[in-house]
Amino acid sequence: MEVGFLGLGIMGKAMAMNLLKHGFKVTVWNRTLSKCDELVEHGASVGETPAAVVKKCKYTIAMLSDPAAALSVVFDKDGVLEEVCAGKGYVDMSTVDAETSIKISEAIQSKGGHFLEAPVSGSKKPAEDGQLVILAAGEKALFEQAVPAFNVMGKKSFFLGPVGNGAKMKLVVNMIMGCMMNAFSEGLELASRSGLDPHTLLDVLDLGAIANPMFKLKGPTMINSNYAPAFPLKHQQKDMRLALALGDENALSMPIAAASNEAFKKARSLGLGDLDFSAVFEAVKLLKH
């Protein structure tokens, strides 16, 4: 089957490559067209514009860098909207806010097209290994149509209901993650100041009921004050803020999330916003004798 793919950044390129390797016919487009070359070598066709890709394919997947890019490929000249129509599907796998997602959804549907938001959990390595977790929401029929592609790009895909639920699920997960990073930072520093070796704490944690990949991965780099950004702190803090806003809409008191949000803000105030979110550890450690 002919699948369209818009956006060949780090994530998109790895995802499209997996589709090709598993026998999908893929027509790709990227703002900088030269980025299509490697995929063409593996058998991809190239569309000149998003509209051209949509015209050719039953459904089209998009993986753009941010809400502005996600809106641009849909609404700009030669964009998705010009060719989407009854019977065609559009699957936006970019991470965008609910508002952007709903705006795109309404535009696609106003043309008779079908829409699915499908943000992913996982970064470069899982994308290359086809091990993403896909959080889809929108039209169920399009989800079922896309499942073969999802099975190739990810280890598991979920259908979560109406548009917006994919974004909400990501917020909930990232909120818990941000709280855990703060608790972990407090624990590492409490160990150090109490005369315990933080490396030993990592070993003990890894053998117990709260062992998890994040502690195992981030612990050693945090102890070495290495905060090369995999997930920038300012983005983590933005997700905490949005999760708290979601709680506020539902009158849900979330004191641990709120305290964690303030800790991330303190880290931003200390100039750490562009580092990895684990850099909140630096704000916890602050000490002057």
172 belongs to the binding site for a second copy (CB under 8 A) = yes
Name the amino acid, one letter, at 226. Answer: N
d(CA 168, CA 97): 9
Structure tokens at 243: 């999760």
d(CA 206, CA 263): 25
Distance of CA 201 to the CA centre of its chain: 30
Here's the x/- map for a second copy, 207-246, by CB under 8 A: it reads as xxxxxxxx--x-----------------------x-x--x
269 belongs to the binding site for a second copy (CB under 8 A) = yes
Q: Based on CB atoms, which residue is closest to a second copy, 67 or 247?
A: 247
**Site residues for a second copy, window 93-132 (CB under 8 A)?**
121-122
Lookup result for tokens 């000149």: 48
201 belongs to the binding site for a second copy (CB under 8 A) = yes
Out of 17, 205, 222, 275, point to the residue binding a second copy (CB under 8 A): 205
Strands 132-138 and 114-117: antiparallel
Out of 177, 222, 242, 279, point to the residue binding a second copy (CB under 8 A): 177
Among the candidate windows 29-37, 52-60, 76-84, 247-255, which touches a second copy by CB under 8 A? 247-255
Q: Which of 88, 170, 218, 265 is catalytic?
A: 170
Name the amino acid, one letter, at 242. Answer: L
State yes or no: is 170 an active-site residue. yes
Instruction: Report in angstroms how near the CB of residue 273 gets to a second copy at its nearest.
Output: 7
191 belongs to the binding site for a second copy (CB under 8 A) = yes
Residue 243 in contact with residue 257, Cβ under 8 Å? Answer: yes
CA-closest candidate to residue 83, choices 120, 48, 116 = 48
**Site residues for a second copy, window 64-83 (CB under 8 A)?**
none
d(CA 70, CA 67): 5
Residue 17 in contact with residue 39, Cβ under 8 Å? Answer: yes
Residue 136 in contact with residue 166, Cβ under 8 Å? Answer: yes
Return the number of other C-beta atoms located less than 10 Å from residue 38's C-beta: 13
Lookup result for tokens 């806003």: 245
152 belongs to the binding site for a second copy (CB under 8 A) = no
Q: Based on CB atoms, which residue is closest to a second copy, 6 or 136?
A: 136
Out of 68, 85, 141, 190, point to the residue binding a second copy (CB under 8 A): 190
Instruction: Report in angstroms how near the CB of residue 120 gets to a second copy at its nearest.
Output: 11
Instruction: Report in angstroms how near the CB of residue 46 gets to a second copy at its nearest.
Output: 33
Q: Based on CB atoms, which residue is closest to a second copy, 32 or 253?
A: 253
Residues known to be catalytic = 170
